[in-house]
């Protein structure tokens, strides 16, 4: 069998180009070269895989020009026809971690080849753990040996398409997919040990993290409401009659953007709800009961608000994954900002 072809991504620091002062270094492809941490991987891969090229990119450059950098790097990778794409490890370096997470996800999505990176669990880039395998490393480059020891075998497994065991066994950061495995101790012993740690105020790791939500700082108040543009957003599933975008009644995979220029009132003939999580009778009779267009038009006319934004955004918040909802909002929030919207009223059911 021929060797597994690996392309390795590292930053300017690990390529020995320089530190912060060289962080603007543009993507560079070094065919046939094994650089920095690549040496350790090469040793660990033995005869099974070879690093056919190394890509070096400055962390600031990647962070500030993510789109261009990704496109350039993608082309570099394509040309090498790799079986596996490896990035990092990034340890606790935040921008490097972001780059590793971002580029591995992009490669996985676009090229469909297995990818692997590694970083410290508190690295901001660790958010990508739900998208790609990220090996949990120590928080500094002193943990290189340990990181390579875990990453190299997992990389080979991924490249060969072998079954990936649980995060606890393979050493990757938990990705939300629950996998069974046998622990060293039985559950009751683990429970007693965990309690003793908790009682002593020591660090302990729960085996099942409870769902966790982000917190954001409140935005400042709207100073001049009479001249403000207000947009409506809803998770109550209000859509034009017939649900033109086919938003699902539960676990929605997308959202809709609808023009309400000239619409003064939502009526039973024109709007309805796509939401499957509540009795739709009332919303279908009068969608203003969920999305108060009629009242906002009045307030607009009276000058209480500057204007009602031309588009409203709608999805169904019924069993929809938090990650999806977050992705929707990230996308349309940018649009809202670009369109000069000052504030949003979000209605939910």
Partner 1 sequence: MADFFIITNNEMVRDKYASQVTVEFHPVKYTEIMRMARDYIHAGHKLLTHPLAGSIKPNETPYKTIFLTKSKKTMDSESLRIIEECIIACKKFGKERFPNMPENMRQDFRTIDCSLCDNAMASAMQ
Partner 2 sequence: MKLELGYVNIHDIQFADQSKVEAGVLYVCKEDIKNLVLEDENIKSVELEIAKPGDSIRIMPVKDVIEPRCKVEGPGDIFPGVISKVDTVGSGKTNVLRGSAVVTTGKIVAFQEGIIDMSGEGAKYTPFSQTNNLVVVIEPVDGLHQHEHEKAVRFAGLKTAKFLGDLAKNVTPDETEVFETYGVKEGMEKMPNLPRVAYVQMLQSQGLMHDTYVYGVDAKRTLSTIMNPTEGMDGAILSGNCVSACDKNTTYHHLNNPVVKDLFAQHGKTLNFVGMILTNENVYLADKQRSSDWTAKLCRWLDLDGAVVSQEGFGNPDTDLIMNCKKIEEQGVKTVIITDEYAGQDGKSQSLADADPKADAVVTGGNANMVIHLPKMDKVIGYPEVANIIAGGHEGSLNADGSIDAELQVITGATNELGFNKLSAR
Partner 3 sequence: MCTVTPISMTVGANRIVPTIAIPHPLGNPELTHEEEKALRRGLVEKALKALETEVTEQTIFE
Of 132 and 238, nearer to partner 1 (C-beta) is 238
Which partner from the list partner 2, partner 1, partner 3, none does 330 bind, CB cut-off 5 to 8 Å by kind? none
Q: Judge whether 129 and 173 are in contact, CB under 8 Å.
A: yes
Q: Judge whether 236 and 349 are in contact, CB under 8 Å.
A: yes
Q: Give the C-alpha separation, 85 to 82, whole Å.
A: 7
**Which of 121, 149, 179, 254 is in the footprint of partner 2 by CB under 8 A?**
179
Is residue 306 near partner 1 by the rule CB under 8 A? Answer: no
The secondary element (H helix, E strand) that includes residue 168 is: helix 167-170
Q: Judge whether 272 and 193 are in contact, CB under 8 Å.
A: no
Q: Give the C-alpha separation, 336 to 311, whole Å.
A: 9
Is residue 279 near partner 1 by the rule CB under 8 A? Answer: yes
| Minimum CB–partner distance for residue 318 and partner 1 (Å) | 9
Q: Report helix angle 66-80 to 94-111, nearest 10.
A: 50
Of 280 and 306, nearer to partner 1 (C-beta) is 280
Which partner from the list partner 1, partner 3, partner 2, none does 141 bind, CB cut-off 5 to 8 Å by kind? none
Q: Total residues contacting partner 1 (rule CB under 8 A)? A: 4
| Minimum CB–partner distance for residue 213 and partner 2 (Å) | 9
Of 63 and 280, nearer to partner 3 (C-beta) is 280
Q: Give the C-alpha separation, 59 to 77, whole Å.
A: 18
Which partner from the list partner 2, partner 1, partner 3, none does 43 bind, CB cut-off 5 to 8 Å by kind? none
Which partner from the list partner 3, partner 1, partner 2, none does 316 bind, CB cut-off 5 to 8 Å by kind? none
In the chain the first and final C-alpha atoms are separated, in Å, by 58
């Amino acid at each position: 069998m021929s060797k597994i072809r690996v392309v390795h991504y590292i930053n300017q620091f690990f390529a020995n180009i320089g530190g912060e002062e060289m962080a603007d270094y543009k993507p560079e492809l070094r065919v046939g070269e094994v650089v920095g941490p690549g040496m350790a991987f090469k040793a660990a891969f033995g005869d099974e895989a070879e690093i056919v090229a190394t890509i070096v990119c400055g962390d600031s450059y990647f962070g500030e020009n993510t789109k261009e950098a990704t496109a350039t790097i993608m082309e570099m990778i394509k040309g090498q026809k790799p079986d596996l794409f490896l990035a990092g490890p990034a340890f606790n370096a935040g921008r490097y971690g972001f780059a590793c997470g971002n580029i591995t996800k992009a490669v996985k999505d676009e090229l469909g080849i297995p990818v692997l990176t590694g970083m410290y669990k508190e690295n901001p880039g660790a958010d990508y753990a739900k998208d790609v395998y990220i090996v949990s490393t120590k928080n500094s480059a002193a943990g290189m040996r340990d990181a390579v020891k875990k990453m190299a075998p997992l990389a080979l497994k991924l490249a060969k398409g072998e079954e990936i065991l649980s995060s606890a066994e393979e050493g990757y950061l938990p990705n939300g997919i629950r996998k069974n495995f046998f622990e060293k101790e039985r559950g009751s012993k683990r429970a007693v040990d965990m309690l003793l740690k908790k009682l002593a105020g020591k660090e302990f790791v729960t085996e099942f993290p409870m769902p966790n939500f982000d917190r954001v700082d409140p935005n400042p108040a709207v100073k001049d409401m009479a001249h403000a543009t207000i947009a409506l957003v809803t998770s109550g599933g209000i859509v034009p009659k017939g649900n033109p975008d086919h938003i699902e009644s539960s676990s929605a995979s997308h959202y809709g953007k609808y023009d309400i220029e000239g619409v003064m009132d939502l009526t039973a003939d024109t709007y309805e709800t796509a939401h499957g999580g509540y009795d739709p009778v009332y919303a279908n009779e009068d969608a203003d009961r969920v999305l108060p267009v009629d009242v906002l038009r009045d307030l607009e006319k009276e000058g209480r608000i500057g204007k009602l934004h031309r588009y409203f955004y709608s999805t169904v918040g019924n069993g929809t994954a938090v990650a999806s909802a977050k992705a929707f909002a990230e996308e349309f929030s940018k649009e809202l900002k670009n369109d000069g919207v000052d504030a949003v009223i979000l209605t939910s059911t």
